[in-house]
Amino acid sequence: MAEFIKIYEENPNPREIKRVVDVLRDGGLVIYPTDTVYGLGCDITNTKALEKIARIKGVKLEKANWSFVCADLSNLSDYVRQIDTPTFKILKRTLPGPYTFILPGNNNLPKDFKKKKTVGIRIPDNRIARTLVERLGNPIVSTSIHDEDEVIEYTTDPSLIHEKWDNLVDIVIDGGYGDNVASTVIDLSESQPQIVREGKGSLDIL
């Protein structure tokens, strides 16, 4: 049974944040709010937790394309190769924000991602998500929680999310209603930016 924890974005309660971080450190799965749709995440360094998410999503772990949710741009050098000035300017201008940027990975990637040439980096404009990453001390691997309903792609009501995911995850954070538009995904790993998916983030940044 998943715990249902209310956290306010304006002022995340440190005790509640610690509770979630402890569960992440223990290999638990957490559903949490971002600046777009609710995400399903775990500690990037915990293989068992990553395998659990892969099973839920029906993918092989080595083939999974998940985002790394970071607290700020200082996390980038941990996992991303040296990036050029124009690329850095795009990141600086848009993050935190509703974008996922695909960037060239480096040799420090956690063992489960060693074969990846690129990584998707996300810094959501949501204080709950970023505070979790700060307290955890490393990024959270994240994937959107899709809805099977053919009309609604994403569930926005945290209590409905809790109802549906109760037996699959350890904690569902109620951070208020989510959005139903996912992040804009832009590939910056080559010389020219490529739009992979148009979402909430404006394309005028390119």
Query: pLDDT at position 150, please?
Result: 64
**Domains of the chain with bracketed CATH:** 3-205 (3.90.870.10)
**Average pLDDT of span 22-33:** 98
The Cα-based distances of 124 to 2, 38, 108 in angstroms read: 24, 11, 23
Number of residues that this document lists for the chain: 206
Give Cα 136 to chain centroid, integer Å: 14
Query: pLDDT at position 13, please?
Result: 97
Q: What is the DSSP letter of 154?
A: B
State the average pLDDT for the chain. 93
Does residue 182 contact residue 200 with C-beta atoms inside 8 Å? yes
How far apart are the C-alpha atoms of 31 and 119, rounded to whole Å? 21
pLDDT > 70 fraction of the chain, expressed in percent and rounded = 98
Residue 25's pLDDT band, with cuts at 50, 70 and 90, is very high
Higher pLDDT, 146 or 163: 163
